[in-house]
């Protein structure tokens, strides 16, 4: 897999292309690589050896592939372990309630810390396709929902800081609950 591209790279600002099935061998491998990267980034030995920053998600445009694919992997989220690849993902419904991480968001494609609240839906229902072309549905909430929305934004050329209030980054977000990261 190619290196993670950083802010200023045009792939991060494009709308990524819909994927068709069956996947090409190349796309199939890309899915594996995205998920493997995330798993490795959580491994204490591998992450140190290869200098990987831990991430809970990684989207294809971040490795300069402008396609609607991302992976998510987290052990932080309560309940079932969260680890999947999402192809042509969609949010089919969402709560009115919003949420935000009190510590803000970060991005593997952004090397500088950017502070401020990023409003997200607290609960979302999503559909996506897996690597074999099977559609699946999930309900996500809290950190998992936040991460999914962060990744979906990458497929639409949106960066997390686009959502931060420029005049007052820590301005209260109406109708929202705050989420503290463990």
What residue ranges bind ligand SB7 (CB under 6 A)? 55-59, 62, 101, 105-109, 146-147, 150-151, 154
Q: In what order do the strands lie in the sheet with 82-94?
A: 57-59, 69-74, 82-94, 123-129, 135-141
CB 59 → ligand SB7: shortest distance, Å? 5
Catalytic residues: 151
The string over 69-84, giving b where at least 16 C-beta atoms fall within 10 Å of a residue's C-beta and e elsewhere, is: bbbbbbebbeeeebeb
By beta carbon distance, the residue nearest Ni ion is: 107
Does 107 bind Ni ion (CB under 5 A)? Our answer is yes
Sequence length of the chain is: 182
Q: Return the one option of ligand SB7, Ni ion, none that residue 105 interacts with (CB less than 5 to 8 A, by type).
A: ligand SB7
DSSP alpha helix (H) spans, 43-182: 44-50, 142-155
From 37-45, 79-87, 99-107, 161-169, give the range in contact with Ni ion by CB under 5 A.
Answer: 99-107
- The binding track of 68-97 with respect to Ni ion, each residue x by CB under 5 A or -, is ------------------------------
Which one of ligand SB7, Ni ion, none interacts with residue 58, CB within 5 to 8 A by kind? ligand SB7
Helices (H) and strands (E) in the chain, counts: 3, 8
CB of 107 to Ni ion, least distance (A): 3
Instruction: Select 20 or 102, whichever has its Cβ closest to ligand SB7.
Output: 102
Question: Given the structure tokens 């950190």, which residue do they identify?
Answer: 143
* Paired tokens of 158: 């949106």
Nearest-approach distance from CB 120 to ligand SB7, in angstroms: 8
Chosen from Ni ion, ligand SB7, none, partner binding at 61 (C-beta under 5 to 8 Å by type):
none
Work out the number of other CB atoms within 10 angstroms of the CB of residue 43: 13
Give residues with Cβ within 8 angstroms of 135, minimum separation 6: 127, 128, 129
Q: Which does 73 bind (CB under 5 to 8 A by kind): Ni ion, ligand SB7, none?
A: none
Query: Where do contacts with Ni ion occur on this chain (CB under 5 A)?
Result: 107
């Amino acid at each position: 897999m190619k290196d993670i591209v950083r802010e200023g790279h045009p792939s991060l600002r494009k709308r990524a292309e819909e994927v068709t099935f069956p996947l090409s061998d190349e796309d199939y491998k890309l899915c594996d690589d995205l998920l493997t990267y995330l798993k490795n980034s959580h491994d204490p030995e591998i992450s140190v050896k290869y200098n990987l920053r831990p991430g809970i998600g990684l989207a294809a445009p971040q490795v300069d592939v402008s396609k609607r694919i991302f992976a998510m992997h987290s052990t932080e989220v309560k309940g079932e372990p969260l680890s999947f690849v999402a192809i042509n993902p969609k949010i089919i419904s969402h709560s009115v309630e919003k949420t935000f991480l009190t510590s803000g968001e970060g991005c593997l494609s952004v090397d500088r810390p950017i502070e401020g609240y990023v409003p997200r839906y607290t609960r979302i229902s999503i559909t996506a396709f897996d690597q074999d072309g099977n559609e699946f549905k999930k309900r996500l909430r809290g950190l998992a929902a936040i991460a999914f929305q962060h990744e979906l934004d990458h497929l639409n050329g949106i960066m997390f800081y686009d959502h931060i209030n420029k005049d007052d980054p820590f301005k209260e977000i109406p109708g929202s609950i705050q989420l503290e990261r463990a």
